[in-house]
Structure 1
Amino acid sequence: MYEVKSVKSDRESVQVDLLAERPEQGSSFLAYANVVCVVAGTGTLGLPYALKLGGWIGVGILLLSLLMSIYTAILLMKCLYYNGKYRLSSYQEVGRHAFGRAGLIAVWFFHTSIVIGAPVMYLILSGTEMKGLVANDAISTKAWIWICAAIVAIPFVAMKTLKEVAVMSVFGALATVVLVIVAVRGSIIDLHNPAYASVVHDNVILAHLPTTVASISICFGGNVVYMHVEEAMRYPRSWNRVVAAALATCSILYIATAIPGYLTYGSEAQSPILANLPNDTATKIGTVVIIIHVILAAPILLTSFALEFERLLDITVTRRGKVMERVYRTISRLILVGICGGIACTVPYFGDFLSLLGALGNCTLIFVLPILCYFKLIGWRHLKWYELLWCAIIVIIGVISAIIGSIDAIKALKTDFQNDNSN
């Protein structure tokens, strides 16, 4: 990353420190909690199912994904400062500077699929779990999805930037820890349950490896908010340490959930794992916790998208005035929540939607595009041969998983719809 650069302005040499302290921004701990809250979200609940798809090799894939994600997160942040004169504002800007209009459109498409798709996934999960939690047949799953969407809309509309939303991430991160504890407890209790005595465990299922990678990749899908998280950091030089610590923390939570879950439920593992856990008070607490987490995490992703959308439409106090800026921002954000709620009601299949989201958006945004943009903006000639080999491995894994994983997920969703129509 860049330190101090000399920029000519009005015939004077001005020293610009792009990574200088930003006293008005939040702490590194808030940035850490923000990443953990967004990254270690509902993807945790799908990990035993991901191991069911690929076998025990999924644990190795998880650790490999951790290393690849940290590396590409660091490269992506370097791209923001590539010219040494100013910081790019977004992932889309990185794509535009690297590959022109084509790069802008590509990043925008995959970026939008995540920042809209992940909240949709959250609403599917929360609505489904609320339906099971509250014994009231008069309220349908779709109605619960809309209720959860309305709750998510409150902080999303009320809080303007990620600096304000970041405080919520601390509680979201704690909610994830509680959820993992509940999942591990339930898996241990069911370890000797006769109902799961005959489950099968595979070491590796080659045919499903791309889908496994795609499902696991969503567990590291923070690239869509990294730029805004770093922008809200008081000490931007701490970014490398913050993202490495946050993703490592997430991986510890993932392993703690994945191994006991797959060991107990094996070929019977479901996504989310809550469907397998004993139907007792602790599981109900876990259900409540994941609903709380969804309500806290969804506004962070939606705010990331909204900031770009509002910048595009020039919805600013300077341009619109204080009152009208609030009006335009409120209307646009309510429409966005409405779109997410509508999609969630149309495609209410959590596990397969999770796989499609991971394959289509995360594999591309996390593994492929950061490296391609880095090569284009900064170059590859200064990298060692083993770094180039590492980059090639990441890109190949990302491309194969994105293509095959998307095809498999679409087929699974097609089957879901057909089964619904036949019932």
Structure 2
Amino acid sequence: MEKHPEEMYEVTSVNSDKESVAVDLLAERPEQGSNFLAYANVVCVVAGTGTLGLPYALRLGGWIGVGILILSLIMSVYTAILLMKCLYYNGKYRLSSYQEVGRHAFGKPGLIAVWFFHTSIVLGAPIMYLILSGTEMVGLAPSAGLNVKAWIWIAAAIVAVPFCSMKTLKEVAVMSVFGALATVVLVIVAVRGSIMDMSNPVWDKAGHDNIIWANLPTTVASISICFGGNVVYMHVEEAMRYPKSWNRVVAAALGTCSILYLATAIPGYLAYGNLAESPILSNLPQDLTTKIGTIVIIVHVILAAPILLTSFALEFERLCDITVARRGKVMERVYRTLVRLVIIGFCGGIACTVPFFGDFLSLLGALGNCTLIFVLPILCYFKLIGWRQMKWYELVWCAIIVIIGVLSAVIGSIDAIKALHEDFVTNN
């Protein structure tokens, strides 16, 4: 039976079982975190290091990229709201994860598809964070005599401390506040350097385009991926004291991310035009301020990694039934710590040993991000709640989002496959 979207928030009965977490949306959750911490969580995860690649995205497509960025914001907020309504589709209890949404909507194939795309992001992104941290640390401390692999393990050890000691996103959310502030500092560094270089004759030959039709699909894919937060939205909402504020929180958080994106993309493209690189720090004046920006990148990724890893760990621990009720307070902590040490060890090992993992992750990221952000939320909403109550223009809007999501996934994947082929040819 189809339900009107507003009915999803009129939950009065409470029912829980092994797969679902009972919750009444009308009731406050006093033990959970504030709306501000939820807001900071989303900003910290979404406005990551992708911020520094946006001037390059405008270089690919031209000034039309600004419009694409704003369109991606609107689509992302819309699908985030639809996805959260799917968690309460039966009007009785809250589904505990994105994977459950996929299973309830499409059975086992839906569960497997969501699990694959979800895992590729929540494990792949922290691995890339470790690689980035290790690489940048070598440049900042060359006199230490440590290679990239050693710095990667040092970064992994730092990430492991909050990851193993903090159980849920409520505790990790405190770190996200500092991560969000680090992103703001990073944007300030990029804007400052871009403005300084606008009068630098070195960049006088840089040209600007309004639209480059040949590169437009790649631009859409690149910018769309910058709004990938669906992998943690369920856990962020679960850790909110006032869950009915979700719509406002996610809109404010993604809106803030977009302001940071625009603040970086526009001055960066104005200054460097078709000479813009990714990350934009490569173009900026190589002075003390830029080095501070590099340090901020390291701080940001080290703070953001535990949020994504905790999202994965919570799902894995539920699957393994690692709970206080099942294992006891002491053994639950022991099992949880061991599991999380294995997870961070796996990430560190992959970061050190897989030579082409960056481009391989780009393949999974293009498929995973665009599919999880744009395509699956709408398909699951149609299946679980129904589409007949929607106006015709809403259906057209949903169709546009799905088409853009599919094209972004396909085009991003083709680019990643080409990069992987080039990696193997170069290596041979």
Using structure 2 for the length normalisation, give the TM-score.
0.92
Whether 1:4 aligns to 2:10 is yes
Whether 1:268 aligns to 2:268 is no
Q: Is the 8 A contact 1:66 1:247 kept in 2?
A: yes
Task: Quote the residue 1:391 is aligned against.
Answer: 398
Deviation, structure 1 residue 63? 0.5
Deviation, structure 1 residue 52? 2.0
Q: Report the residue type matching 1:411 in the other structure.
A: K
Corresponding residue to 1:407 among 402, 414, 419: 414
Corresponding residue to 1:87 among 84, 87, 94: 94
**More displaced 10-residue stretch of structure 1: 202-211 or 331-340:** 202-211
**More displaced 10-residue stretch of structure 1: 209-218 or 346-355:** 346-355
The one-character-per-residue Cα deviations of 1:162-194 (angstroms, maximum 9, x if unpaired) are 011011111111111000000011111122323
Task: Quote the residue 1:343 is aligned against.
Answer: 350
Q: Report the residue type matching 1:103 in the other structure.
A: G
Gaps of 5+ in 1: 10-15
Q: Report the residue type matching 1:81 in the other structure.
A: Y
Corresponding residue to 2:187 among 180, 185, 188: 180
Q: Report the residue type matching 1:104 in the other structure.
A: L
Task: Quote the residue 2:47 is aligned against.
Answer: 40
Name the SS of the counterpart of 2:177 in structure 1. helix
Q: Is the 8 A contact 1:18 1:84 kept in 2?
A: no
Deviation, structure 1 residue 55? 2.1
Distance in 2 (CA, whole Å) between partners of 1:415 and 1:317 is: 49
Q: Is the 8 A contact 2:195 2:271 kept in 1?
A: yes
The one-character-per-residue Cα deviations of 1:237-264 (angstroms, maximum 9, x if unpaired) are 1000000011001100000001111222
Whether 1:251 aligns to 2:251 is no
Q: Is the 8 A contact 1:310 1:329 kept in 2?
A: yes
**Aligned pair in 2 of structure 1 residues 7, 256: CA closer, same or farther (>3 Å)?**
closer
Alignment of 1:186-205 (within 5 A): 186-205=193-212
Deviation, structure 1 residue 206? 2.9
Task: Quote the residue 1:12 is aligned against.
Answer: none
Q: Is the 8 A contact 2:38 2:237 kept in 1?
A: yes
**Aligned pair in 2 of structure 1 residues 352, 263: CA closer, same or farther (>3 Å)?**
farther
Task: Quote the residue 1:13 is aligned against.
Answer: none
Task: Quote the residue 2:339 is aligned against.
Answer: 332
Q: Report the residue type matching 2:35 in the other structure.
A: S
Using structure 1 for the length normalisation, give the TM-score.
0.93
Q: Is the 8 A contact 2:14 2:92 kept in 1?
A: no
Q: Is the 8 A contact 1:218 1:354 kept in 2?
A: no
Corresponding residue to 1:232 among 239, 242, 255: 239
Deviation, structure 1 residue 202? 2.7
The one-character-per-residue Cα deviations of 1:197-227 (angstroms, maximum 9, x if unpaired) are 2223232233333332222223211100000
Distance in 1 (CA, whole Å) between partners of 2:50 and 2:30 is: 34
Deviation, structure 1 residue 81? 0.6
Q: Report the residue type matching 2:190 in the other structure.
A: A
Deviation, structure 1 residue 80? 0.4
Distance in 2 (CA, whole Å) between partners of 1:349 and 1:263 is: 33
Q: Is the 8 A contact 1:46 1:270 kept in 2?
A: yes
**Aligned pair in 2 of structure 1 residues 417, 338: CA closer, same or farther (>3 Å)?**
farther
Deviation, structure 1 residue 343? 2.8
Alignment of 1:83-162 (within 5 A): 83-136=90-143, 138-162=145-169
Name the SS of the counterpart of 1:192 in structure 2. coil
Deviation, structure 1 residue 320? 1.8
**Aligned pair in 2 of structure 1 residues 226, 333: CA closer, same or farther (>3 Å)?**
same
Corresponding residue to 1:71 among 55, 70, 78: 78
**Aligned pair in 2 of structure 1 residues 289, 7: CA closer, same or farther (>3 Å)?**
closer
Distance in 2 (CA, whole Å) between partners of 1:55 and 1:8 is: 52
**More displaced 10-residue stretch of structure 1: 236-245 or 17-26:** 17-26
**Aligned pair in 2 of structure 1 residues 358, 17: CA closer, same or farther (>3 Å)?**
same
Distance in 2 (CA, whole Å) between partners of 1:351 and 1:120 is: 9
Q: Report the residue type matching 2:224 in the other structure.
A: S
Q: Report the residue type matching 2:140 in the other structure.
A: L
**More displaced 10-residue stretch of structure 1: 309-318 or 410-419:** 410-419
Paired residue total:
415
**Aligned pair in 2 of structure 1 residues 171, 117: CA closer, same or farther (>3 Å)?**
same
Name the SS of the counterpart of 2:198 in structure 1. helix
The one-character-per-residue Cα deviations of 1:270-319 (angstroms, maximum 9, x if unpaired) are 22212221111111111111111111111001000000001001111222
Deviation, structure 1 residue 102? 0.5
Q: Stretches of 4+ moved more than 6 A in 1?
A: 348-351
Name the SS of the counterpart of 1:329 in structure 2. helix
Q: Is the 8 A contact 2:120 2:361 kept in 1?
A: no
Q: Is the 8 A contact 1:125 1:350 kept in 2?
A: no
Q: Is the 8 A contact 1:271 1:350 kept in 2?
A: no
Deviation, structure 1 residue 322? 2.1
The one-character-per-residue Cα deviations of 1:332-380 (angstroms, maximum 9, x if unpaired) are 1122112222333345679856754541211000000000000000000
**Aligned pair in 2 of structure 1 residues 189, 73: CA closer, same or farther (>3 Å)?**
same
Distance in 2 (CA, whole Å) between partners of 1:118 and 1:69 is: 19
Q: Is the 8 A contact 2:43 2:254 kept in 1?
A: yes
Gaps of 5+ in 2: 1-5, 16-22
Q: Is the 8 A contact 1:47 1:258 kept in 2?
A: yes
